[in-house]
């Protein structure tokens, strides 16, 4: 069994930790690239969401490297993600590609289904080993998130952005290789010490919240490296979703004390009074949350044709009206042009800056 | 008399007789928006989000056509109309989308319909809706009962071969102009969402055009619901969209229907669930190679001439195929 799984930002580090500590053999797809897009777009349905296309590209590239089993998450609706694996399986079958698909999702009829799938992956390893592996993967997720949060804070502030990016990449690599929690703690501490010594610009910086569908928020390739673009334009970005928060809510049922989206969900009413699948409700709630914390603007990202985010986007003008917070939405797919995104970002940053200046004068 | 507006859009084609019977029995005057026209569509396009799908934009137009004429608008929040299945995320947020973008609407009745998990029933829903208009519990119950009976009659009419707009006109005491012809030369299985298929403006009268071209149509709505359920049970994973299930089940039935000559699948541009369901239908049709299939994607920019040309070509192809039974490629 040579397992592969789709890329989503730095998730690969977390899943790698999980699977290798169970002694499973992995074939990681090459980092998502233009070729991945090309492959995915060629075989996926035209109006499928961007993540499905990228996933499919990942699988096809991993297949070339010898993967024979796909590990996927699933769901039971109404967001299309819950049916990804089924559609992807049909596409692969028509391409004559035989790959086993293990889809981990909330069981439809009984928990035995899920248990069987995990058992299949575990082979003759014990459940205790699984628990230990999950714990280790969790530490990695936390380490990645702490570093990312710090990078988001630092990007607009550092004098030498390139130095920061290089260090960031190096740290991710070291987290990926770290054999135990002690080493992880050391790496994170080391990075924080390093970040203290970085020469910084002075002044105040614009703050933008990033909301939207989880894949397009977390995968820089899908969002055209939006966080870094904003950082270079002098904007500190706060993400509404982090990997560890998501894992805590979906895997640990919110038992751990990590900032999640529960709070945001509550803030969505009265603008959005129902769940709408995906992260639609969280998108609206997080926008309210950022508005209340006096952020300068909110950016929403979503795959083109994403249903929950279209609902969220539809109601955002009402939030803007009540709180005066500007919002900008990007629908992303293989057709999105880099230049267009950069131009719209620059215009939005100008807008945020002008608004802040205006408010400063009014408050004087 | 209190007036209530029901937009002639989205699930109107499935539930209008039920809704109308309930409200008129309560003594509420029901007003339906006119049949879609260019003005209605345009007002929808101007107010809804660009990225929304055509049916949702059209719904905005129908709401606007009613807004000044009624005391209430009926836009129930349709989360789930059956156990373990949803319609589409956009239906769940529809009342919120309307309120955020059309601030001067009359009060919207947006009570949720959510049968995803066992719990609240249709009875509870109508009791809550009814109590907006009257405190008379008995009256509400009677109205609900009669609405329920009307719905069953409606279902029977559908199974007898009437298409939803035809069955609806039976309840409106209008003359039913067309019954399904049995002896047309071609028989076409027609797939697509009711709100696209049966809206003559949006579908550019696809059904009428097919009939004029000597083809009779059968849609998912003419098939008994049990049969559809039976078919979709064979899927490797349960499909969690009510309407998608209907399409897949109907398609699987059509594949095995020896009398059909072809399938046309009408979808709207950017429809989320359809991007998956249509894909599966297309792949299965190709693998089976039994019935020719044509996918028609429409949006507000679709031209009638293009549609007619494609229809003619498709029908011409299956006519030839019918003449030289089994000698032609089934790939359309």
Give the DSSP letter string of B133-199: T-S-HHHHHHHHHHHHHHHHHHHHHHHTT--HHHHHHHHTTPPP-----SS-SEEEEEEE-HHHHT-
Would the pLDDT of B325 be above 70? no
Please work out, in degrees rounded to the nearest 5, the angle formed at the alpha carbon of residue B92 by the alpha carbons of B243 and B227. 20
Which residue blocks in chain A are alpha helix, DSSP H?
11-21, 34-43, 50-64, 84-94, 111-122, 127-154, 161-177, 181-197, 214-218, 226-232, 243-250, 262-267, 280-292, 307-323, 338-363
Phi, psi of A257 (to 5 degrees): -90, 80
- Cβ partners under 8 Å of residue B314, min gap 6: B262, B264, B292, B294, B332
Q: What is the mean pLDDT of chain A?
A: 94
pLDDT at B177: 57
Is any Cβ of chain A less than 8 angstroms from the Cβ of B255?
Answer: no
Nearest-Cα residue of chain A relative to residue B279: A45
Counting every residue, how long is chain B? Answer: 332
Q: How far is A94 from chain B (nearest CA, A)?
A: 8
Cβ pair A78:B99 closer than 8 A: no
- Summarize pLDDT for A14-30 with one digit per residue, the tens: 999 999 999 999 999 99
pLDDT at A77: 86
- What value does the mean pLDDT take over residues B215-241? 93
Cα pseudo-dihedral B65, B66, B69, B70, rounded to 10: -170
Q: What is the CA radius of gyration of chain A?
A: 21
Is any Cβ of chain B less than 8 angstroms from the Cβ of A305?
Answer: yes
Provide the 8-state DSSP code for A200. Answer: B
Is any Cβ of chain A less than 8 angstroms from the Cβ of B273?
Answer: yes
- What value does the mean pLDDT take over residues B87-109? 96
- Summarize pLDDT for B255-308 with one digit per residue, the tens: 998 899 999 999 999 899 999 999 999 999 999 998 999 999 999 999 999 999
In Å, how far from its chain's centre is CA A92? 25
The span from the CA of A184 to the CA of B168, in Å, is 67
Q: Which two tokens stand for residue B19?
A: 């809704």
Is any Cβ of chain A less than 8 angstroms from the Cβ of B289?
Answer: no
Q: Which residues of B touch A331 (CB under 8 A)?
A: 51
For residue B270, give the nearest of A274, A305, A317 by CB distance. A305
Cα pseudo-dihedral B305, B309, B314, B315, rounded to 10: 90
The span from the CA of A1 to the CA of A3, in Å, is 6
Would the pLDDT of B179 be above 70? no
Q: Which two tokens stand for residue B303?
A: 């031209």
Is any Cβ of chain A less than 8 angstroms from the Cβ of B270?
Answer: yes
| Three-state secondary structure call for residue B130 | helix
pLDDT at A247: 82
Yes or no: say if B270 and B300 are a contact pair by the CB < 8 Å rule.
Answer: no
| Three-state secondary structure call for residue A11 | helix
For residue A315, give the nearest of B97, B236, B240 by CB distance. B97
For residue A274, give the nearest of B79, B238, B241 by CB distance. B79
For residue A48, give the nearest of B85, B275, B286 by CB distance. B275
- Among positive and negative, which fits the CA dihedral A71, A77, A81, A82? positive
Q: Which two tokens stand for residue A263?
A: 């709070």
Would the pLDDT of B329 be above 70? no
Nearest-Cα residue of chain B relative to residue A269: B96
Share of chain A above pLDDT 90, in %: 87
The span from the CA of B70 to the CA of B272, in Å, is 32
DSSP string, A129-172: HHHHHHHHHHHHHHHHHHHHHHHHHHTTTBS-HHHHHHHHHHHH
pLDDT at A248: 81
Q: How far is B308 from chain A (nearest CA, A)?
A: 23
Is any Cβ of chain B less than 8 angstroms from the Cβ of A128?
Answer: no
Among candidate residues A9, A1, A23, the one with its CA nearest the CA of residue A144? A9
Q: Which two tokens stand for residue A3?
A: 């397992």
The span from the CA of A226 to the CA of A302, in Å, is 12
The span from the CA of B156 to the CA of B213, in Å, is 28
The span from the CA of A278 to the CA of A51, in Å, is 13
- What value does the mean pLDDT take over residues B37-63? 97
Among candidate residues B164, B154, B161, the one with its CA nearest the CA of residue B180? B161
Is any Cβ of chain B less than 8 angstroms from the Cβ of A315?
Answer: yes
The span from the CA of A154 to the CA of A230, in Å, is 12
Is any Cβ of chain B less than 8 angstroms from the Cβ of A336?
Answer: no
A267: preceding bond cis by omega (within 30 degrees): no
The span from the CA of A219 to the CA of B249, in Å, is 36
- Summarize pLDDT for A246-263 with one digit per residue, the tens: 888 777 767 776 766 778
pLDDT at B173: 67
Would the pLDDT of B180 be above 70? no
- What value does the mean pLDDT take over residues A95-120? 88
- What value does the mean pLDDT take over residues A341-352? 98
Q: What is the CA radius of gyration of chain B?
A: 20
The span from the CA of A328 to the CA of A343, in Å, is 12
| Three-state secondary structure call for residue A3 | strand
Q: What is the largest CA-CA distance in chain A?
A: 69
Nearest-Cα residue of chain A relative to residue B47: A314
Phi, psi of A298 (to 5 degrees): -130, 135
- What value does the mean pLDDT take over residues B4-9? 98
pLDDT at B323: 82
Please state the pTM of the whole predicted model.
0.95
Would the pLDDT of A37 be above 60? yes
The span from the CA of A122 to the CA of A145, in Å, is 27
pLDDT at A110: 74
Among candidate residues B176, B264, B255, the one with its CA nearest the CA of residue B217? B264
> How many A-B residue pairs are in contact by the CB < 8 A criterion?
131
Would the pLDDT of B159 be above 80? yes
Q: Which two tokens stand for residue B331?
A: 């790939």
Q: How far is A142 from chain B (nearest CA, A)?
A: 32
Higher pLDDT, A175 or A76: A175
Yes or no: say if B80 and B114 are a contact pair by the CB < 8 Å rule.
Answer: yes
pLDDT at B183: 61
Q: How far is A158 from chain B (nearest CA, A)?
A: 38
Nearest-Cα residue of chain B relative to residue A331: B51
Yes or no: say if A213 and A309 are a contact pair by the CB < 8 Å rule.
Answer: yes
Share of chain A above pLDDT 70, in %: 98
Is A364 exposed, middle or buried, given 0-12, 13-18 or 19+ CB atoms closer than 10 A? exposed
DSSP string, B236-275: SS---BHHHHHHHHHHHHHHH-TT--EEEEEEETT-HHHH
Would the pLDDT of B253 be above 90? yes
Q: What is the mean pLDDT of chain B?
A: 93
Question: pLDDT grade, residue A264 (50/70/90)?
Answer: confident
Is any Cβ of chain A less than 8 angstroms from the Cβ of B239?
Answer: yes
Q: Which residues of B touch A83 (CB under 8 A)?
A: 237, 239-240, 276
- What value does the mean pLDDT take over residues A174-199? 97
The span from the CA of A273 to the CA of A269, in Å, is 5
Would the pLDDT of B181 be above 60? no
Nearest-Cα residue of chain A relative to residue B113: A274
Is any Cβ of chain A less than 8 angstroms from the Cβ of B156?
Answer: no
Q: Which residues pair with A163 in a beta bridge?
A: none
- What value does the mean pLDDT take over residues B12-22? 97
- Summarize pLDDT for B106-148 with one digit per residue, the tens: 999 999 999 988 888 899 999 999 999 999 999 999 999 999 9
């Amino acid at each position: 069994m040579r397992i592969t799984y789709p890329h989503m930002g730095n998730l690969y580090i977390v899943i790698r930790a999980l699977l290798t500590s169970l002694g499973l053999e992995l074939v990681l797809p090459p980092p998502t690239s233009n070729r991945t897009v090309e492959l995915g777009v060629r075989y996926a349905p035209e109006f499928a969401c961007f993540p499905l296309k990228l996933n499919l590209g990942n699988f096809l590239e991993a297949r070339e490297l010898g993967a024979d089993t796909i590990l996927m998450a699933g769901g039971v609706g109404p967001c299309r993600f819950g049916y990804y694996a089924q559609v992807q399986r049909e596409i692969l079958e028509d391409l004559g590609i035989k790959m086993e698909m293990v889809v981990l999702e909330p069981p439809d009829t009984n928990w035995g289904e899920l248990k069987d799938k995990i058992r299949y992956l575990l082979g003759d390893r014990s459940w205790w080993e699984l628990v230990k592996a999950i714990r280790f993967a969790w530490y990695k997720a936390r380490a990645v998130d702490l570093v990312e949060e710090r990078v988001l804070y630092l990007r607009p502030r550092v004098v030498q952005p390139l130095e920061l990016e290089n260090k960031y990449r190096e740290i991710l690599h070291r987290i990926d290789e770290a054999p135990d929690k002690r080493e992880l703690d050391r790496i994170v501490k080391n990075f924080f010490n390093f970040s203290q010594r970085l020469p910084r610009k002075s002044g105040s910086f614009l703050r933008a919240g990033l909301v939207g569908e989880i894949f397009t928020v977390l995968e820089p390739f899908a969002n055209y490296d939006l966080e870094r673009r904003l950082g270079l334009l002098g904007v500190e970005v706060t993400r509404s979703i982090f990997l560890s928060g998501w894992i805590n809510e979906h895997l640990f049922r919110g038992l751990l004390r990590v900032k999640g989206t529960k709070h945001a969900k509550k803030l969505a009413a009265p603008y959005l009074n129902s769940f709408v699948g995906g992260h639609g409700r969280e998108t609206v709630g997080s926008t309210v949350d950022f508005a209340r914390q006096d952020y300068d603007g909110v950016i929403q990202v979503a795959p083109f044709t994403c249903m929950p985010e279209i609902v969220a986007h539809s109601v955002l003008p009402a939030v803007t009206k009540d709180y005066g917070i500007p919002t900008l939405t990007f629908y992303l797919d293989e057709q999105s042009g880099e230049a267009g995104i950069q131009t719209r970002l620059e215009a939005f940053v100008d807008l945020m800056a002008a608004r802040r200046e205006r408010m400063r004068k009014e408050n004087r | 008399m209190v007036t209530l507006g029901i937009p002639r859009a989205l699930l109107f084609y499935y539930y209008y007789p039920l809704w109308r019977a309930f409200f008129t029995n309560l003594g509420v005057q029901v007003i339906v928006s006119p049949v879609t026209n260019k003005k209605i569509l345009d007002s929808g396009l101007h107010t809804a989000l660009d990225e929304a799908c055509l049916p949702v934009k059209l719904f905005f137009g129908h709401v606007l056509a009613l807004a000044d004429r009624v005391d209430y608008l009926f836009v129930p929040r349709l989360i789930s109309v059956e156990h373990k299945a949803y319609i589409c995320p956009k239906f769940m947020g529809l009342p919120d989308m309307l309120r955020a973008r059309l601030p001067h609407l009359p009060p919207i009745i947006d009570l949720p319909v959510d049968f995803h998990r066992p719990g609240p029933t249709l009875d509870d829903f109508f009791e809550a809706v009814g109590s907006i208009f009257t405190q008379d519990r008995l009256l509400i119950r009677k109205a609900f009962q009669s609405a329920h009976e009307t719905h069953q009659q409606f279902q029977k009419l559908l199974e007898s071969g009437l298409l939803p707009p035809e069955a609806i006109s039976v309840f409106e005491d209008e003359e039913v102009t067309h019954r399904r012809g049995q002896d047309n030369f071609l028989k076409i299985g027609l797939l697509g969402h009711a709100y696209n298929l049966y809206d003559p403006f949006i579908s550019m009268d696809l059904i009428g055009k097919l009939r004029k071209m000597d083809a009779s149509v059968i849609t998912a709505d003419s098939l008994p619901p049990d049969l559809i359920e039976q078919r979709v049970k064979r899927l490797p994973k349960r499909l969690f969209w009510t309407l998608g299930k209907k399409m897949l089940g109907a398609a699987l039935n059509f594949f095995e229907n020896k009398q059909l000559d072809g399938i046309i699948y009408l979808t709207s541009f950017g429809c989320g669930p359809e991007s998956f369901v249509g894909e599966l239908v297309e792949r299965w049709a190709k693998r089976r190679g039994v019935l020719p299939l044509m996918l028609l994607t429409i949006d507000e920019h679709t031209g009638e001439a293009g549609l007619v040309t494609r229809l003619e070509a498709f029908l011409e192809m299956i006519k030839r195929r019918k003449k030289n039974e089994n000698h032609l490629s089934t790939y359309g």
